[in-house]
Amino acid sequence: MSWTPTRRFPRANATGSSPSAAVPRTTRRRGARVVAAHDGRNVNEFQALNASETLDNPAHIAINTTVGTGSETTPAYVITDLSSPNAPHKWVGFDRAAITTLAINDPILCMTQPPEYVAYTGFDTMAHASECYVGRVQHLSTTPIALAAIRLTQENLREATYNPKNYKAMEQMVWAQYTAAQAFSTGLLGILHSLSHAVCAYYDIHHGLNNGVGLPRVWTYNQPAAPERYADIAEAMGVDTKGMNVPQAADAAIEAVIRLVKDCGCPESWSQVGEYPKTRMGKGHYEGKTNAAIQSDDDELQKMAEHMMGDLCTPGNPRDLTVDGAKEVLRDCMYDGMAVKTGNGYRQNIWGVAPEMGRRTQQTASERPGPQ
Ligand SMILES: [Fe+2]
């Protein structure tokens, strides 16, 4: 099944300047502040780093109610463009003018989320932390706290999901989401977010849910470019890596994240995503397009792959991305199971995890440098 959104989408409004309801409320409002400070100009004019020309934004107090975006404290905002010739297009901006005036994080306010939202937003935290930890921008002020956020998420997300009234678990998850957001505000993100933005633009599924499906795939794709980093992540994920070489430990990280997301109810693939609390699939601008199973033909995968290539998050990824590589990762997220794809004989030419592409390292855990 395929559909052509550029033909079918109604215009959001005359100017296309309204940030879409498809993005989290806090994120949306910070995009709106940038618009307000620029006399109502089209928000699509601000797709860049620090694109604001005036910093005189309206005051904004942000009260966080999830364990994921960290948007109450970051300079990032995300807009789903449903009206310009580029639509559907979900883009991210980083702008110092978007930082809120005051942010409030109280775990009690996160305890009434639907359990699925605790899980999904927790996957977003894992995405932020892991992308920052393995990314091209390695900065001593961010990489240690990124790893700490991975550890906090590993240790608390299951409990927070299934017992959201557990104050300690929720408090730790709030710290994790806040810490991961602080990390990526400097260390930036990678293609997991590019992947998530692309599928959300076309199907409007929850950002954190997208990330949950994408986590094992992107860790697998990136592993050859940063095997030591993924070995560190394995330890943060609670794996005893003594006696493992670097590739084995890096593989164990992928196995651990699969266990985490599946324990927290993540579907194996996007095609298995059904109704969930607060779902927007098949609603609003997407009515009649996404109310059944998510499916994409090769033509649509190509469009989403090109969407990924142009995403602001892609340059921060530790491994270069190609359109063909993006399509294979997208196809895998769309239809396949989460099994670790690091063994011989499975898509190694594109996924690049064959022994000749980074898996020959025999350094053991005790010989590896410790996490920064
Ligand atoms: Fe995110």
- Per-residue model confidence (pLDDT) at position 9: 22
364 vs 7, higher pLDDT: 364
**Span from the CA of 372 to the centroid of ligand 1 (angstroms):** 23
* Domain extent at residue 72: 5-107
* 224 shares its domain with 131: yes
Q: What is the CATH number of the domain that holds 97?
A: 3.40.50.1970
* 308 shares its domain with 320: yes
Q: What radius of gyration, in Å, describes the C-alpha atoms of the chain?
A: 20
pLDDT band at 121 (very low <50, low <70, confident <90, very high): very high
* 38 shares its domain with 170: no
**Span from the CA of 300 to the centroid of ligand 1 (angstroms):** 23
Asked, for residue 75, whether it belongs to a domain, the answer is yes
What is the C-alpha to C-alpha distance for residues 271 and 295, in angstroms, rounded to an integer? 6
**Domain termination site, one of 73, 107, 141:** 107
**Domain termination site, one of 61, 80, 107:** 107
Report, as an integer, the average pLDDT of 69-85: 88
SS3 per-residue string spanning 16-48: CCCCCCCCCHHHHHHHHHHHHCCCCCCHHHHCC
197 vs 52, higher pLDDT: 197
* 131 shares its domain with 88: no
> Domain total for the chain?
2
* 260 shares its domain with 135: yes
pTM: 0.85
**Span from the CA of 284 to the centroid of ligand 1 (angstroms):** 22
What is the C-alpha to C-alpha distance for residues 155 and 172, in angstroms, rounded to an integer? 9
* 126 shares its domain with 263: yes
Long-range CB contacts for residues 239-246, cutoff 8 Å, separation at least 24: 241/365, 242/365, 242/366, 243/364, 243/365, 244/364, 244/365, 245/361, 245/362, 245/363, 245/364, 245/365, 246/361, 246/363, 246/365, 246/368
* 97 shares its domain with 137: no
**Span from the CA of 119 to the centroid of ligand 1 (angstroms):** 13
Q: Can you tell me whether residue 305 is helix, strand or coil?
A: helix
**Span from the CA of 64 to the centroid of ligand 1 (angstroms):** 14
Range from 18-27, 87-96, 241-250 carrying the lowest mean pLDDT:
18-27
Report, as an integer, the average pLDDT of 86-103: 88
